[in-house]
Amino acid sequence: MAPILHLAHSPWIAALMLLPLLGMDSAWAGSMTDDPKGFRDVPWGTALSSRQDVEPFRSSTHIIEYLPKTDPLSFADTQMTSILYLSVDDQFARVTIRYHGSDVHKGVLNFLETRFGRLDRVPGQMARGLTQQYTWRGSDTEINLTYQAGTERGYIFFDSRTLSPRFNDDITDSAE
C-alpha cells in the first residue's frame, strides 16, 4: 500500500499548490441596467462610412476602424489614450477604448458601475490582481473592461452582441 502524502509533511507541495493563487487574476460580471444599444448615440448596425463625425483609419476586407473627428478622446469625464469605432461589413459593431493610469482606471470603473450597474462580487474576493476583468451584459450590448495592473493599461470594449461575433469569423477566414 502506498503511503499517503500529507501537506504538513511536504511544505514544497503545499507551496506549489498555493502558487497559482498568488498571481490570480480577478473577474466580475453583472447584468446591465441600461443597455445603450450602441455608443454615444450611434446605434449598432449603423453604416459608419456614411457618417461625417468619423474618418477611416485602418481597413481590411471586412473590418474598418474609424477615428472620431469631432469627439474629444474622453470617456467617463477623463482623457483616454485612444477611441476607435469598428465596423464589420459596414455595420457598426464595436468601440475600443484605451487608457493609462490607476486613477483613470478607478474613475472609469466607477463611471461604468454607476451608469450600467453594479458588478456581482463574491464577498471576500479581492478587487485587485495582475489582470482585472469586468463585464456588463445587456440585451444588445456587452461591455468588457480589462485592466493590467503591472502596466496600468486599461481597455474597454463596447460590443454589439449580434455583430461582434463576426470579427471572429473574419479572423478565421483570413487564417486559412
Domain ranges of the chain: 25-117+130-174
Amino acid at 80: M
What is the CATH number that goes with domain 25-117+130-174?
3.40.1000
pLDDT digits (tens, 9 = 90+) for 5-50: 444 444 433 333 333 343 445 566 777 889 999 999 999 999 999 9
pLDDT digits (tens, 9 = 90+) for 9-21: 444 333 333 333 4
- Structure confidence at residue 111 (pLDDT): 96
- Structure confidence at residue 166 (pLDDT): 86
Q: Give Cα 27 to chain centroid, integer Å.
A: 11
To which residue does cell 485587485 refer? 128
Pairing of strands 26-31, 131-137: parallel
